[in-house]
Amino acid sequence: VAALRRGLASTRGGFIARLAQIFGGKKEIDPALLDQIQEVLITADIGVRTSEKMLETLRAKMERAELRDEDAVWSAIREEARAILGASAGGIEVRSKPTTILVVGVNGVGKTTTIGKLASRFHEEGKKVVLAAGDTFRAAAVLQLEVWARRVGCEIVKGKDRADPASVIFEAIKKAQGDGADVVIADTAGRLHTKSNLMEELKKVVRTAEKALERPVDEILLVLDSTTGQNAIQQAQLFKDAIPVSGIVLTKLDGTAKGGVVLGIVDEHRIPVRYVGIGERIEDLREFDTDAFVQALFA
């Protein structure tokens, strides 16, 4: 919780500090205070809908005279946050062989870094990992992934320049099956300026991976950059409309005051957050834990 709290320092200094200011020395908790709270929540990238929902609960509690003091309001806010995030369960379990994780997201959000950190985590656990360099469009992405593969000490499958991403991922799964590997982590393209092409490509990647596995993929992990705030919520919609996203990684929480966006994303999309990124080091990719997160953010 301490490291998470440090990672969330900007967010805590932002909207949490502003919430605290609202209370500042006030003895009376009145309905006007709730309006101020709402304003802070909306500007904290939690999103209008989610903020309103939280406020409705607070208002109901106030009417029942359950919010007598500041502590009561804080614990009501924490309770609300827990209820929203409740669906989130951190970490991907390696069960079926090879557990296949497709990693999707817009360029720059931290996809490659996340793949490297995940590979390292599984490798440390004694799992045999195969990476698939499915972003064949960007030579730099393939290189970056190769650096991670060397660093971690795992296999990587890459196609020729501009190879079909689906075929690279197909090959990687076949290789993993042949070698008895435990995990396949596949990178995918994230060039958003050709949105419809990208979504068609991702659909094909999913279909092809399923053909190679003869079952659904284990996880479609969407990486979102928390510094983009509300934009991240919209990106999630875009990907969700095209492919069955099953988990979210929220990166760069350490560099933003917009950490409240976690609540908005889970509330709007009902997709669990699996990991959060709170820095550049391998250990800075953390399994998401609702209680720890709420404690780190609000306590």
Alpha-carbon span 186 to 276, nearest angstrom: 19
Please tell me whether residue 287 adopts helix, strand or coil conformation. strand
Please say which residue, 83 or 192, places its beta carbon nearer to ligand GDP: 192
Residue 108, marked binder:
yes
Residue 187, marked binder:
yes
**Cβ atoms of residues 112 and 132 within 8 Å:** no
Shortest separation between residue 267's beta carbon and ligand GDP, angstroms: 22
Contacting ligand GDP (CB under 6 A), which of 14, 47, 98, 110? 110
Shortest separation between residue 98's beta carbon and ligand GDP, angstroms: 22
Q: How distant is the alpha carbon of residue 109 from its chain centre? A: 10
Contacting ligand GDP (CB under 6 A), which of 112, 208, 228, 246? 112
**Cβ atoms of residues 90 and 262 within 8 Å:** no
User: Could you tell me which residues come within 8 angstroms of residue 282 by beta carbon, excluding any fewer than 6 positions away?
Assistant: 116, 117, 120, 121
Phi, psi for 297 (deg, rounded to 5): -80, -45
**Cβ atoms of residues 252 and 226 within 8 Å:** yes
The residue with tokens 């995918």 is 188
Residue 227, marked binder:
no
The pattern of x and - marking residues 259 through 278 that bind ligand GDP according to CB under 6 A reads ------------------xx
The single-letter code of the amino acid at 241 is D
- Helices 230-242 and 261-269, axial angle in degrees (round to 10): 30
Q: Is 280 in the site for ligand GDP (CB under 6 A)?
A: yes
Give the nearest residue (CB) to ligand GDP.
277
The pattern of x and - marking residues 184 through 203 that bind ligand GDP according to CB under 6 A reads ------x-------------
Q: Is 90 in the site for ligand GDP (CB under 6 A)?
A: no
Residue 49, marked binder:
no
Contact region with ligand GDP (CB under 6 A), list: 29-37, 68-76, 239-247, 249-257: 249-257
- Footprint of ligand GDP on this chain (CB under 6 A)? 105, 107-113, 190, 251-252, 254-255, 277-280, 284
